[in-house]
Amino acid sequence: MRPDERFFSFEKDFRDPFARDRDRVLHCSSFRRLEYKTQVFLNHEGDYFRTRLTHSLEVSQIARTLSRMLDLNETLAEVIALSHDLGHTPFGHVGGDELDKLLKADGRPLGFEHNFQSFRVLTKLEKRYKEFDGLNLTFATLEGVLKHSYPYKKPFLEGLDPHFDLEKHPSLEAMVVDHADEIAYTSHDIDDGIKYGLISFDDLLKDALCLRVDEVVQKEGVTREEKLYRHRFVAGLIKLLVEDFIETSKEGAKQYRQETPICVTIDAQEELPVGFSKETGTQLKKLKKLLYQKLYKHQKIVRKMHAGKQCIQGLYKAFTEDTDLLPPYQKELFDVRIKERVIADYIAAMTDRYAMKTYHEVYGFSL
Q: Which residues pair with 134 in a beta bridge?
A: 127
Helix (H, G, I), strand (E, B) or coil at 110: coil
Task: Tell me what pLDDT residue 43 has.
Answer: 56
Contact at 8 Å (CB) between 262 and 142? no
- pLDDT digit of tens for each residue in the chain (367 aa)? 344 444 444 456 678 899 999 999 999 999 999 999 987 765 555 556 789 999 999 999 999 999 999 999 999 999 999 999 999 999 989 999 999 999 999 999 889 999 899 999 999 999 999 888 999 999 999 999 988 777 777 777 766 777 788 888 889 999 999 999 999 999 999 999 999 899 999 999 999 999 999 999 999 999 998 889 999 999 999 999 999 999 999 999 988 876 555 556 688 888 889 999 999 999 999 999 999 999 999 998 888 889 999 999 999 999 999 999 999 999 999 999 999 999 999 999 999 999 999 999 999 876 6
Q: Is the bond preceding 109 in cis, omega lying within 30 degrees of 0?
A: no
Contact 51, 44 (CB under 8 A): no
Nearest to 244, CA basis, from 274, 204, 285: 274
Contacts of 87 (CB under 8 A, 6+ apart): 114, 115, 116, 117, 118, 119, 120, 121, 348
- Angular region, 197: left φ>0, alpha ψ -120 to 50, beta rest: left
pLDDT at 6: 47
Each domain of the chain, given as residue ranges in start order, spans 172-296
For residue 317, what pLDDT is reported? 97
Alpha helices in the chain (DSSP H): 3-6, 17-26, 29-33, 52-69, 74-83, 92-105, 114-120, 139-146, 172-196, 201-204, 208-219, 228-256, 278-291, 299-321, 328-332, 339-349, 352-363
User: Alpha-carbon torsion 325, 316, 88, 160, what sign?
Assistant: negative
| Residue 150 near residue 137 (C-beta atoms within 8 A) | no
Predicted local distance difference test score (pLDDT) of residue 4? 46
Residue 310 CA to chain centroid, in angstroms?
23
Listing DSSP states for 239-253 in one string gives: HHHHHHHHHHHHHHH
Please report the sign of the dihedral spanned by the C-alpha atoms of residue 215, residue 220, residue 225, residue 226.
negative
pLDDT at 155: 72
Backbone angles phi, psi at 314, to 5 degrees: -65, -45
CB 347 within 8 A of CB 355: yes
pLDDT 10s digits, 77-100: 999 999 999 999 999 899 999 999
Element at 238 (helix H, strand E): helix 228-256
Alpha-carbon span 1 to 5, nearest angstrom: 6
CB count within 10 Å of CB 44 equals 13
Cα dihedral across residues 82, 86, 92, 97: positive or negative: negative
Q: Report the predicted TM-score, pTM, of the whole model to 2 decimal places.
A: 0.91
Q: 3-state class of 38 per DSSP?
A: strand
Residues 121-145 as b/e (b if ≥16 CB within 10 A, e otherwise) read: bbbebbeeeeeeebbbbbbbbbbbb
Strand partners, 277: none
